[in-house]
């Protein structure tokens, strides 16, 4: 079975630009979460989506937004990019949204560099 | 708020020796604890989790972890380390009703041949 897939693998953008990152969850998984991993730190929670609805949001500015599609894939959008947005963006999928006991499975990530 | 502390930046161990990676947590309520491993230029791979029951949890690739409620710890262990275990290890916690993972800063493990 295919795992979580993300695209693109790498991305270079200029300050002020906008970027869209994409994620496809494991087949049968209905929940997608997004995390930001800055170099040298652990991943930080950005969003969780379940059945196309936002179920949670981390401490990130409104420049960050996301959505989930009927096929459970998801997009993360970041507007007005700052140098500090340079990071590895990880997508994770799980079967459901509300079970804290359930593990999340991560994709390989998208490496975003803002210059 | 839920949080995790991984006090050591790097753990060096000789191949064949026991490996321990430390983690302590802080939550309101009962914790759900997880360990993930990250290889260079890769996403996170799930190793094991503690939900309830036995305090010793066994996971993938020969890893295990011990939950200690009184010390609020969840240390990762492997009896005999391999060079291929060299990677970045993350401890994470969730609480009931909240599916967002709170990660520690990670521990770099270096297994010396």
The dihedral of CA B101, B103, B108, B111: what is its sign?
negative
Cβ neighbours for B57, distance < 8 A, ≥ 6 positions apart: B48, B49, B50, B64, B65, B66, B67
Average pLDDT score, chain A: 94
Task: Tell me the DSSP string of A18-49.
Answer: -EEEEEEPPTT--EEEEEEE-TTS--EEEEEE
- Asked if the Cβ–Cβ distance from B101 to A31 is below 8 Å, we say no
Give A96's contacts in chain B (Cβ within 8 Å).
Answer: 99
Cβ neighbours for A29, distance < 8 A, ≥ 6 positions apart: A72, A93, A94, A95, A105
- Asked if the Cβ–Cβ distance from B95 to A58 is below 8 Å, we say no
Give A43's contacts in chain B (Cβ within 8 Å).
Answer: 44, 90, 101, 103
Residue range A33-54: average pLDDT? 94
Query: Could you tell me the two tokens for B24?
Result: 């302590």
- Asked if the Cβ–Cβ distance from B106 to A41 is below 8 Å, we say yes
A-B Cβ pairs (cutoff 8 Å, strict): 71
List b or e across A23-32, with b for residues whose CB sees 16 or more CB atoms inside 10 angstroms: bbbbeebbbb
Give A69-106 pLDDT, tens digit per residue: 999 999 999 999 999 999 999 999 998 766 778 899 99
> Do the strands B19-21 and B73-78 form a parallel or antiparallel pair, or are they unpaired?
antiparallel
CA dist A80 and A19 (Å) reads: 9
Query: Could you tell me the two tokens for B5?
Result: 């502390």
- B98: closest CA of chain A, how far (Å): 6
B31 contacts chain A (CB < 8 A): no
The pLDDT-based confidence of A110 (bands split at 50, 70, 90) is very high
At residue B93, the pLDDT reads 94
Query: Could you tell me the two tokens for A93?
Result: 């999928």
How many helices (H) does chain B have, and how many strands (E)? 0, 12
CA dist A3 and A93 (Å) reads: 9
Return the residue of B nearest to A97 by Cα: B99
Residue range A110-114: average pLDDT? 97
Residue A11 has pLDDT above 70, yes or no: yes
Give B44's contacts in chain A (Cβ within 8 Å).
Answer: 43, 90, 92, 106
B100 contacts chain A (CB < 8 A): yes
Closest by CA to A58, choosing from B42, B99, B55, is B99
At residue A38, the pLDDT reads 95
CA dist B28 and A51 (Å) reads: 28
Residue range A10-21: average pLDDT? 98
At residue A101, the pLDDT reads 81
Structural element, H or E, at residue A4 = none
At residue B40, the pLDDT reads 84
Give the residues of chain B that fall short of pLDDT 50: none
């Amino acid at each position: 079975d295919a795992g979580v897939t993300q695209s693109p693998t790498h991305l270079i953008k200029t300050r002020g630009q906008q970027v869209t990152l994409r994620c496809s969850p494991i087949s049968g998984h209905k929940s997608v979460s997004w995390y930001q991993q800055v170099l040298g730190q652990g991943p930080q929670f950005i969003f969780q989506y379940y059945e196309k609805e936002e179920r949670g949001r981390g401490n990130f500015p409104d420049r960050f937004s996301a959505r989930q599609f009927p096929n459970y894939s998801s997009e993360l959008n970041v507007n007005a990019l700052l140098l500090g947005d340079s990071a590895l963006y990880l997508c994770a999928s799980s079967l459901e949204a509300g079970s804290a006991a359930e593990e999340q499975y991560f994709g390989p990530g998208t490496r975003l560099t803002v210059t | 708020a839920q949080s995790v502390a991984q006090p050591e930046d790097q753990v060096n161990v000789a191949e064949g020796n026991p490996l321990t990676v430390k983690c302590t947590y802080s939550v309101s309520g009962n914790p759900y604890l997880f360990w993930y491993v990250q290889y260079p230029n890769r996403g996170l791979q799930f190793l094991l989790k503690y939900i309830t029951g036995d305090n010793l949890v066994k996971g993938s690739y020969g890893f295990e972890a011990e939950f200690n409620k009184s010390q609020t710890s969840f240390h990762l262990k492997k009896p005999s380390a391999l060079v291929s275990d060299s990677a970045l290890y993350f401890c994470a916690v969730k609480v009931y009703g909240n599916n967002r993972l709170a990660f520690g800063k990670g521990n770099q493990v270096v297994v010396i041949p």
